[in-house]
Amino acid sequence: MTIMHGTRQSCFGLYVHWPFCVHKCPYCDFNSRVPTAVDHADWRRVFLLALDYAVTEMPKGRHLGSVFFGGGTPSLMEPATVATVLERAVVSWPFAADVEVTLEANPSDSDRLTDFRVAGVNRLSLGVQALDDSALCLLGRLHDTSQALAAIDIARHIFPKLSLDLIYARPGQPLEAWQRELEWAMTLAADHFSLYQLTLEPGTAFFADRASGGLVLPDEDTSADFYQMTQEITTTAGLTAYEVSNYARQGDECRHNMATWQGGDTVGIGPGAHGRLTLNDCPKGMNTIATRQHRTPEVWRARVESGTHQTVSYLSRAERIEELVMMGLRLTAGIDRALFHNLVGRSLESVISVQALESLAESGFVVLDAASLRVTPAGRLVLDEILRQLLA
Ligand SMILES: C[S@@+](CC[C@H](N)C(=O)[O-])C[C@H]1O[C@@H](n2cnc3c(N)ncnc32)[C@H](O)[C@@H]1O
Ligand code: SF4
């Protein structure tokens, strides 16, 4: 099996999942647990083992373009663990000269930010979530607004790139309150924002609260107003909405996520981490290997010892097409047709419903030109329906 060369596929990303948090937020369905104790030295050792396995899967010679420490709360990792993982990665694969190394952090961990920078992190993604103490309390956060502002101030002086996460369309949040909060956020010297509408995910405390009538979210029309206002305020502030929930100054898009959304290769290590590896000359068009590591932290840790911590499978061409279309249409730039052809060996228009495409284009929801297929601003509001029709 041969690796594709000469395309952006020759760079790949490394995702490292830290599965622990101090406390479980009531809206969160990420793979995160609240442990009674963490043996940091042993987790460090096991991450290195998992990385060594991954090195055997990703052939030498390919460049590492980005590393992303996600979670959970990776700012609870010992900085020495982050440093050690990066040191092992750099001896295993050549790093791109402008490698992006992101770490997700909670504002309460601002005292270790300098150590993360020294460890090699050059982009911080700070989970601010709200600039309003009562909202932070409702979201079950352990920090308040003044701690978030202090963490932003420290981070801005330490990291070349800073991103802030905020959650909006929260229960009881008036539109005007979000306007004030977001306008304030725009003054906070960050170069990237992830602005998420609150979603209620099965299995979370908020999901149960809604089922019992104790929590009400804005209706569909009001949600659309929240989204529209978010687009306007970010545009006025000079940011580009490059993905449904992500906004950046030009050149400050999250490189790791962009590459993933465009179908780039990723090595994933840690509980629940996923990976993708694109190969040439495989049977029946199944040229994408999908890796998935065991979700439960202690099971994952035990299984790494014997190399049984992940499942490896081929994605069928149909599965790969579906994920590329779903991820690509979330991007404002849409699906790059040449890249799509490179990845699946078929033209885009030969694998999606042409009838649906024509009708959606006529209604002003999508645009297809020589370079790409993309969703218009009107289409963005009905993205799920567009995907349903195109993939039918
Ligand atoms: C893995 S979490 C971030 C890491 C860090 N532990 C934190 O909480 O700041 C990634 C981001 O997803 C967003 N998020 C998680 N669950 C969400 C939900 N149900 N609705 C909207 N945004 C959500 C939050 O903004 C969060 O910062
Ligand atoms: S939102 Fe962040 S801190 Fe809260 S439970 Fe999820 S991963 Fe942990």
Give the mean pLDDT of the chain.
94
What's the alpha-carbon Rg for the chain, to the nearest Å?
A: 21
Apex 76 CA angle, 73 and 82, nearest 5 = 100
Question: Does ligand 1 have an atom closer than 6 angstroms to the CB of 129?
Answer: yes
pLDDT beyond 50 at 229: yes
Query: If you search the block for the tokens 């793979």, which residue do you land on?
Result: 31
Q: What is the pLDDT of residue 217?
A: 93
pLDDT beyond 80 at 283: no
Residue type, 150: A
Q: What is the pLDDT of residue 5?
A: 33
| Ramachandran sector of residue 22 (left: φ over 0; alpha: ψ -120 to 50; beta: rest) | alpha
Pocket test for ligand 2, best of 30, 38, 194 (most atoms within 8 A of CB): 30
Question: Does ligand 2 have an atom closer than 6 angstroms to the CB of 372?
Answer: no
Q: What is the pLDDT of residue 284?
A: 62
Q: What is the pLDDT of residue 282?
A: 65
How much distance in Å is there from the Cα of 245 to the middle of ligand 2?
Answer: 18
pLDDT beyond 90 at 348: yes
In angstroms, the CA 384 to CA 377 distance is: 14
Q: What is the pLDDT of residue 65?
A: 96
Q: Which residues have C-beta within 8 Å of that of residue 374, sequence separation ≥ 6?
A: 329, 331, 332, 333, 334, 335, 366, 367
Q: What is the pLDDT of residue 392?
A: 86
Question: Does ligand 1 have an atom closer than 6 angstroms to the CB of 205?
Answer: no
Model pTM greater than 0.85?
yes
Q: What is the pLDDT of residue 61?
A: 75
CATH number of 8-258: 3.80.30.20
- Size of the chain, expressed as the number of residues it contains: 392
Q: What is the pLDDT of residue 285?
A: 67
Confidence band of 2 (pLDDT split at 50, 70, 90): very low
Count of beta carbons in the 10 Å neighbourhood of residue 77: 27
Ligand nearest to the CA of 33: 2
In angstroms, the CA 108 to CA 130 distance is: 14
Q: What is the pLDDT of residue 135?
A: 97
Question: Does ligand 1 have an atom closer than 6 angstroms to the CB of 65?
Answer: no
Question: Does ligand 2 have an atom closer than 6 angstroms to the CB of 24?
Answer: yes
* Whether the Cβ atoms of residue 136 and residue 149 lie closer than 8 Å to each other: no
Pocket test for ligand 2, best of 29, 31, 32, 104 (most atoms within 8 A of CB): 32
Please compute the mean of the pLDDT values over residues 197-210 and round it to a whole number.
96
* Whether the Cβ atoms of residue 250 and residue 192 lie closer than 8 Å to each other: no
User: Distance between the two ends of the chain, CA-based, in angstroms?
Assistant: 32
Please compute the mean of the pLDDT values over residues 78-87 and round it to a whole number.
98
Query: If you search the block for the tokens 């990237």, which residue do you land on?
Result: 192
pLDDT beyond 60 at 180: yes
Name the residue among 323, 326, 327, 388 with its Cα closest to residue 360: 388
Between 232 and 278, the more confident residue is 232
Please compute the mean of the pLDDT values over residues 320-340 and round it to a whole number.
96
Please compute the mean of the pLDDT values over residues 235-246 and round it to a whole number.
97
Tokens standing for 106? 């909670």
For domain 317-392, the question of CATH label 1.10.10.920 is answered with: yes
pLDDT beyond 80 at 246: yes
Ligand nearest to the CA of 20: 2
Helix axes 383-390, 354-362, angle to 10 degrees: 150
Diameter of the chain by CA atoms?
59
Pairing of strands 95-105, 63-71: parallel
Pocket test for ligand 1, best of 27, 125, 209 (most atoms within 8 A of CB): 27
DSSP letter for 108, please.
G
How much distance in Å is there from the Cα of 8 to the middle of ligand 2?
Answer: 32
Q: What percentage of the chain reaches a pLDDT higher than 90?
A: 88
pLDDT in tens, 104-137: 999 999 999 999 999 999 999 999 999 999 999 9
How much distance in Å is there from the Cα of 226 to the middle of ligand 1?
Answer: 18
pLDDT beyond 50 at 14: yes
Domain boundary assignment for the chain: 8-258, 317-392
In angstroms, the CA 43 to CA 80 distance is: 11
Question: Does ligand 1 have an atom closer than 6 angstroms to the CB of 167?
Answer: yes
In angstroms, the CA 86 to CA 96 distance is: 13
Q: What is the pLDDT of residue 1?
A: 31
In angstroms, the CA 30 to CA 203 distance is: 11
pLDDT in tens, 41-61: 999 999 999 999 999 888 777
Ligand 2 atom, smallest distance to 141 CA: 4
pLDDT in tens, 185-203: 999 989 999 999 999 999 9
Q: What is the pLDDT of residue 133?
A: 98
